Structure 1
Amino acid sequence: MELIKLLPFVFLFTIFAYHAKLVLGERSSYIVHMDKSLMPKVFPTHNHWYSFTINSLKASLDHHHHQKPLKLVYTYDNAFHGFSAVMSKDEVEALKRTPGFVSAYSDRNVTVDTTHTFEFLSLNPSTGLWPASEYGKDVIVGVIDTGVWPESPSYRDDGMSEVPDRWKGTCEAGQEFNSSLCNKKLIGVRYFNKGVIAANPNVTISMNSGRDTEGHGTHTSSTAAGNYVEGASFFGYAAGTARGIAPRAHVAMYKVLWDEGRYASDVLAGMDQAVADGVDVISISMGFDDVPLYEDPIAIASFGAMEKGVVVSSSAGNEATIGSLHNGIPWVLTVAAGSVDRFFAGGLTLGNGQKISGWTTFPAPALAQDLPLIYRKNISSCNSTQALSIVGYAIVICENGNVFNQMDFISKSNAAAAIYISDDTEIFEFSDFPYPGVVVGTKYAQTLIDYATKVGGGGFATINFQQTLVGAKPAPVVASYTSRGPAPSYPGVLKPDLMAPGTLVLASWIPNTITASISSNIGLTSDFILASGTSMACPHASGVAALLKGAHPEWSPAAVRSAMMTTANPMDNTQGYIRDSFFDYEVATPLAMGAGQVDPNRAADPGLIYDATPQDYVNLLCSMNYTQKQIMTITRSSYACTPSSDLNYPSFITLYPNSTTKLGVVQEFKRTVTNVGGEATSYKVKVNAPSGSAVTVSPTTLQFGNRYEKQSYSLKIAYTGNMTSGVVSFGSLSWIEENGGHTVRSPIVVAPMIPVW
């Protein structure tokens, strides 16, 4: 399916879920999982075994003798075991009867989910996680995305340490990409498009290399771990020194998304290779919609990554609605998006001296000085070229309309600029502002109108552009676009896990695409852009995970995620609870923001962690009504079940059925925490119960004799609220250290059941 090329300031880098429709006998791409432990000893390698297996299919299906021989597209041997190949349905059926076969499913499309954010997250050179981790020194972040623009100044290697000896990756040469473009910052680049080619045999790949043609991969990788770049800005907005969250970490790019298509087999190949190459963190700002875990390539590959100690950080998706979240995978970090306390302004000064800061990202230092300010009821909707034709070179006040539509009409008039009166929150998530003007809230409407229509002639106004204000309140706010839980692939684990900055994030971009426009006919390019999406939130969390791996190399992926979750901040900069812009600024639920905004410095020293082993996740899978083959698709090998659906997770969710019965729901959870703080210490429980629920915890005090000691507790939720209301209620459980500074907080959610994939 062709992806329509959108201007890069549109945040929704999205393609639709794809389901192959096959004609009998017609071949299509499949991903096949094999049990490597059953490989006959006669084969020297897994590649020989897989080749023999698909070649033997032809012999068993002689009515397909007219077709070309079967060929492997990829073989996989790190994050999971198996291969991808182009096969017919008959050939897949025959394959199911061969030794070692576990499962097969159609290759499918993937949905992609981008200066000041480090300050907003309180990272600083003197204390906390930056100095503790040496800014991510020696940590390798693997980014699975659209490729990279290696000449971007974010990939300079000034100040970088040598490439770690454990690194096994390479810098793959290709079209317009010389392997000498890698250095001590960008240590590896590989590209994977056999899946695209297998699905579209006549396709011509327009950029057959790791070079980025879309910008997305350059933006995400520079956000996670870009080097310092002085003088960065988006046409004068957000000016300053740009840097990634882990500016001394190494970057490896795995290009798996193409202008010509986006396929699961390529995504799997990239993740499989990243694990083999030796990355510490995988950052993946994309996801698969409407698929169970055993058919989700990110779930499958990330299980193998987790077993090898690699943290996988992923985006929640940009679908906004409840239960639309993807990457709700119990063994990955799922990241929601929030706003930043930064306001891009045009300074509006009225002739009477009054000053108002209006929102704008108009990409030029336009001059709108001492111009007449016009407000007329008959033209104030600003949606008629004919009505606006009477306006001279003046500043027009527009109200009661869609700002983007109004901007289009204003641009066709001879007005000099416009003031748009609107409270639409989506305006603050886009950087598209192609005509001089500012947006002001309705609270200023009467002031402006009174001044513009004052007795004795209209007033005058001046607008100055390219202003950036920080400290805007409230912030963060949950972004309107971020996908919400519960996770349809497994609602029993609360997702997303936490929130990170995702709205209008400044990071590197490719220099040969339009990144802003003036009117309808002037396109502008820029080395940095402001982009919005959970794609941009994910690499912030990936960067924090890289810093934590640098400071605590012994921590498991579950420990890293736990540290980030239990120290996340549910409060905004007004000291009130974070609010949700999609739901009229009501208090945000954990289904929108998880435990809250990531707090890197507190995550460096969480006090207690909720750890989990690969076997714990296997036990969870055993409880999920999956078949043995479906579980093996994820675990890649034979496994022993000790069934338990109660994963040792740092959050709690209880789901109630849509029912008229008044019996209520009771659920008990068991949790174990490990003391990673000081030596002997004790913690007391503090519970904020969700409305309609009684929460009991036993014991209410946890005593630790020394470091790394474990203690367990149980938590019981009894929900007696209205089961027909569809209401989501939430609260929290906190363990508060009695003679120390640690608070270990977990969100609690009670929500209605949702359809599960």
Structure 2
Amino acid sequence: MWLLPLICFVLALLLAAGAIGGGGGAAGGGNGGGGERRGVYVVYLGAVPPRTSPNILQQTHLRLIGAVLKRGQPVESVVVQQYKHAFSGFAARLSAAEAAALRRKPGVISVFADPVYHLHTTRSWDFLQQQTTAAVDVKTGGSARRRRRSPRARAAAASASTSSSPTADTIIGLLDSGVWPESPSFDDAGFGPVPARWKGVCMAGDDFNSSSCNRKLIGARYYDVGGEAKRQSARSSGSSPRDEAGHGTHTSSTAAGNAVNGASYYGLAAGTAKGGSASSRVAMYRVCSGEGCAGSAILAGFDDAVADGVDVISVSLGASPYFRPDFSDDPIAIGSFHAVAKGIMVVCSAGNAGPDAATVVNAAPWILTVAASTIDRYFQSDVVLGGNNTAVKGGAINFSNLNKSPKYPLITGESAKSSSVSDTESASHCEPGTLDASKIKGKIVLCHHSRNSDTPKTEKVGELKSAGAVGAVLVDDLEKAVATAYIDFPVTEITSNAAADIHKYISSTSEPVATITPTITVTEYKPAPVVAYFSSRGPSPQTPNILKPDVAAPGVNILASWIPTSTLPAGEEKPSQFNLVSGTSMACPHVAGAAAAVRAWNPAWSPAAIRSAIMTTAAQLNNDGAAVTTDSGSPATPYDHGAGQVNPAAALDAGLVYELGEEDYLQFLCDYGYDASQIKLVAASLPGGFSCGAGGNASDSKDLISGLNYPSIAVTGLGKAGGTRTVSRVVTNVGAQQEATYTVAVAAPAGLDVKVVPGKLEFTKSVKKLGFQVSFSGKNAAAAAKGDLFGSITWSDGKHTVRSPFVVTI
């Protein structure tokens, strides 16, 4: 696995240099007039000017393009997309010289080569509901308080499992790989008319027509640039909203799928599959194909979703952490900014580049960024050893037909090494070409697998199967929590400790034998949740003064709807309508569903208020009552899971929220370092425009980012001794009681002094907003370790617990 980050890094460098599709003027797309090489470029022009119609905006775009083209070349022939609802801009096939000329035009914020992003690939909701109703203790300043939920929260907890709500017409839009409309998750039985405010369409395409939509799946669009660009580069998202990958069907049913009884993956994970907001409507924006997700299509999806009238946008895709564009060059950051400015909640996946630090993507402060965690379900497949029939616990998905008795010869990869191979370690890892087929035929082979392995597990297994092995046991500590599906070939995965027992058995007998049992589903597995190994980690290299990710949600072995497949277990005649998939892609729609439920109960809330409610009510304890860990067993930090595991029912009654608006985000851009003239273009929709505050040009302006009214706090560069940093926050009382008194509790690590002033907030009928300051200082050089220090600040009125994690870098 160590090769994957390196390959991504090299590809990113090539992309940046324009050596492969999507980069600079050398990108695919054919030659223009005069033999110039053309590629697709995105031109971002900021907010839509006030009182400007889409038609006028389109003509403005065409005139701008025409100004850089050679005389006589039709402007329409180079246009790929035009953005005219949520923001202004376009994508066009241009030469490098034409793109450079556009960068110099007044009113242009950025011009960048169209990037290609990638997808971040119902027991989960039952598990979240159990975590809620168990009333797990919440740690506040060293003392344990049991969350006492209000009557509204108790009612909300009951409705969270079925997603009933005061209003059933929230609309979740998904930017993904499409949808399989025939899935029972999108049946519209029991749904009323489509909301009158819905302005979207159901686009016809290959094997998809307007009747494919209904009162549940109310809209579907796709984006296809076609022509030469489609042929030569990853620009196409197919000629239909129909899902050809399964990813979009899975995420949309996770967010808002109907409750489907009797769901399973060929008998595994049996139960009722349901989405987090089953009463919500679904709108699909197909921006991805098998080749990837074009940035120009992503922007079009955002633009249309805003105009169509969605309430929440779920985005389970992103850039590589090794080629992270700046905000003005990032289609997701651009599109989500303008969606949030229009009052639409945007939830994005954090990425699958963990467990390495500083790999989180989609980290703009206006985005709710989601990490992945496990649930209390495990897919167990054991290795049964000969002699005394000792069972060694393993996990994977296989529908093994081996005899239950241990009768099959067992051999290690090292023992099966080919005589022509000198590398024993490669043989022990069963790397292709290192084993002697005659030695493994008819046997179960024990193979080690690690992050440094050159070959994917499935490829190793395929080699063993082709060579005549009857089964395989893979030793894999890092990826053990993710159940890989091997279908009919008997495979299970075990830990290094378990492998030691098998090695001991092999060395104890001249004829070791074993068998592999078919997979069974184990529920109420402990501990859970655990942060998934693949989940990208903070801090964000772009904005270390904003703590990311924000929260974690189930993203491992998630059962949800899928497209038909031709790979069936023996004896099965029909493909499963559901599949088990892992990734932060799966975690993201869990939070999108929770956000839709919060919005349904609180339709006047801003996206920032919804995010705040989700973050400040998140849980930090597992189902053993202990602190959540990573899958390696180490304590999880806010860099791993943000504020904690999402708690959907608790978020419906948050008590206090941290509000943010468009002007706050614009000030963030000022402090981040953007030019004031650019920000004025982004802020064109604000009455009177916008100007940066006094701190916008200060040398320490990035430190001011810590003062953004975010539900978490991140402070960097604090000295060990004598240094002090103070940040301000404002909270709004949204509880049922207008008169409420909140007191603060601080959990601070050794070596860090944390003071909150005032320590009590008293809300009245006329006072709904109150501010406070938090001061951080190193007590002394000896006690304050260099690095990241984690803690929390919690406000409580006895009914609500409002917790904000913090990280301070010494």
Number of the residue aligned with 2:671: 623
Helix, strand or coil at the partner of 2:397: coil
Residues 686 and 368 of structure 1, relative CA distance in 2, 3 Å threshold: same
Q: 1:45 aligns with which of 56, 76, 81?
A: 56
Number of the residue aligned with 2:338: 304
The separation in 2 between residues aligned to 1:170 and 1:656, in whole angstroms, is 50
Q: Work out whether 1:649 is the aligned partner of 2:710.
A: yes
Q: Work out whether 1:110 is the aligned partner of 2:140.
A: no
Q: How does 1:732-743 map to 2 (within 5 A)?
A: 732-737=792-797, 740-743=798-801
Q: How does 1:327-476 map to 2 (within 5 A)?
A: 327-346=362-381, 352=388, 357-362=393-398, 364=399, 366-372=401-407, 374=409, 379=415, 381=428, 383=430, 389=438, 407-408=461-462, 410-412=464-466, 416-420=470-474, 422=475, 424-433=477-486, 435-444=489-498, 463-476=516-529
Most deviating of 133-142 and 392-401: 392-401
Shift of 1:449: 6.2
Number of the residue aligned with 2:141: none
Number of the residue aligned with 1:91: 98
Number of the residue aligned with 2:42: 31
Q: 2:646 aligns with which of 584, 587, 598?
A: 598
The separation in 2 between residues aligned to 1:38 and 1:602, in whole angstroms, is 40
The separation in 1 between residues aligned to 2:369 and 2:548, in whole angstroms, is 7
Q: 2:187 aligns with which of 143, 146, 156?
A: 156
Number of the residue aligned with 1:482: 535
The separation in 2 between residues aligned to 1:708 and 1:545, in whole angstroms, is 27
Residues 16 and 343 of structure 1, relative CA distance in 2, 3 Å threshold: farther
Over residues 728-750 of structure 1, what are the superposed CA-to-partner deviations in whole Å (9 max), with x where a residue is unaligned? 2211111122xx22111111112
Q: 1:498 aligns with which of 551, 554, 579?
A: 551
Q: 1:278 aligns with which of 300, 309, 316?
A: 309
Q: Percent identity?
A: 39
Shift of 1:267: 0.6
Q: In 2, are the aligned partners of 1:33 and 1:633 still within 8 Å (CA)?
A: no
Residues 144 and 16 of structure 1, relative CA distance in 2, 3 Å threshold: farther
Q: Work out whether 1:529 is the aligned partner of 2:529.
A: no
Q: In 1, are the aligned partners of 2:378 and 2:395 still within 8 Å (CA)?
A: yes
Number of residues paired by the alignment? 721
The separation in 2 between residues aligned to 1:207 and 1:178, in whole angstroms, is 14
Q: 2:753 aligns with which of 689, 694, 697?
A: 694
Q: 1:21 aligns with which of 24, 27, 47?
A: 24
Helix, strand or coil at the partner of 1:732: strand
Number of the residue aligned with 2:803: 745
Shift of 1:158: 2.1
Q: How does 1:506-517 map to 2 (within 5 A)?
A: 506-512=559-565, 514=567
Residues 207 and 692 of structure 1, relative CA distance in 2, 3 Å threshold: same
Q: In 1, are the aligned partners of 2:236 and 2:288 still within 8 Å (CA)?
A: no
Shift of 1:406: 6.5
Most deviating of 587-596 and 89-98: 89-98
Residues 536 and 636 of structure 1, relative CA distance in 2, 3 Å threshold: farther
Over residues 153-198 of structure 1, what are the superposed CA-to-partner deviations in whole Å (9 max), with x where a residue is unaligned? 221112333311111111011111111010111100011123x658
Q: 1:574 aligns with which of 615, 624, 630?
A: 624
Q: Work out whether 1:128 is the aligned partner of 2:143.
A: no
Shift of 1:627: 0.6
Shift of 1:260: 5.0
Taking only aligned residues, the RMSD between alpha carbons, in angstroms, comes to: 3.7
Residues 224 and 718 of structure 1, relative CA distance in 2, 3 Å threshold: same
Letter paired with 1:331: W
Shift of 1:223: 1.1
The separation in 1 between residues aligned to 2:634 and 2:260, in whole angstroms, is 38
Shift of 1:691: 3.7
Most deviating of 317-326 and 402-411: 402-411
The separation in 1 between residues aligned to 2:191 and 2:593, in whole angstroms, is 16
Helix, strand or coil at the partner of 1:279: coil
TM-score, normalised on structure 1?
0.86
Residues 399 and 213 of structure 1, relative CA distance in 2, 3 Å threshold: closer
Most deviating of 124-133 and 332-341: 124-133
Number of the residue aligned with 1:61: none
The separation in 2 between residues aligned to 1:295 and 1:182, in whole angstroms, is 34
Shift of 1:302: 1.3
Q: In 2, are the aligned partners of 1:36 and 1:46 still within 8 Å (CA)?
A: no
Over residues 58-99 of structure 1, what are the superposed CA-to-partner deviations in whole Å (9 max), with x where a residue is unaligned? 4xxxxx347554643322222212222223344345445655
Q: 1:608 aligns with which of 653, 656, 665?
A: 656
Helix, strand or coil at the partner of 1:369: coil
Shift of 1:393: 5.5
Number of the residue aligned with 2:137: none
The separation in 1 between residues aligned to 2:313 and 2:53, in whole angstroms, is 35
Over residues 372-414 of structure 1, what are the superposed CA-to-partner deviations in whole Å (9 max), with x where a residue is unaligned? 2655677385849866745785666667887767745653565
Letter paired with 2:273: A
Letter paired with 2:520: Q
Letter paired with 2:85: N
Q: In 1, are the aligned partners of 2:24 and 2:96 still within 8 Å (CA)?
A: no
Q: Work out whether 1:669 is the aligned partner of 2:739.
A: no
Q: In 2, are the aligned partners of 1:607 and 1:676 still within 8 Å (CA)?
A: yes
Helix, strand or coil at the partner of 1:358: coil
Q: Unpaired runs of 5+ in structure 2?
A: 17-22, 27-34, 134-153, 417-427, 696-703
The separation in 2 between residues aligned to 1:569 and 1:730, in whole angstroms, is 16
Q: How does 1:290-301 map to 2 (within 5 A)?
A: 290-301=324-335
The separation in 2 between residues aligned to 1:392 and 1:433, in whole angstroms, is 19
The separation in 2 between residues aligned to 1:612 and 1:746, in whole angstroms, is 16
Shift of 1:330: 0.6
Helix, strand or coil at the partner of 1:703: strand
Shift of 1:33: 3.1
Over residues 115-158 of structure 1, what are the superposed CA-to-partner deviations in whole Å (9 max), with x where a residue is unaligned? 20001111799843462751672110000011111122221112
Shift of 1:358: 2.6
Number of the residue aligned with 1:267: 298
The separation in 1 between residues aligned to 2:595 and 2:42, in whole angstroms, is 30
Shift of 1:445: 5.1
Over residues 491-540 of structure 1, what are the superposed CA-to-partner deviations in whole Å (9 max), with x where a residue is unaligned? 221111000111121112221465x789xxx9995432211111111111
Helix, strand or coil at the partner of 1:224: helix
Residues 723 and 48 of structure 1, relative CA distance in 2, 3 Å threshold: farther
Helix, strand or coil at the partner of 1:586: coil
Shift of 1:316: 0.7
Over residues 348-393 of structure 1, what are the superposed CA-to-partner deviations in whole Å (9 max), with x where a residue is unaligned? 566746555431201x252422232655677385849866745785
TM-score, normalised on structure 2?
0.80
Most deviating of 371-380 and 140-149: 371-380
Q: In 2, are the aligned partners of 1:375 and 1:453 still within 8 Å (CA)?
A: no
Shift of 1:304: 1.6
Q: 1:234 aligns with which of 265, 272, 285?
A: 265
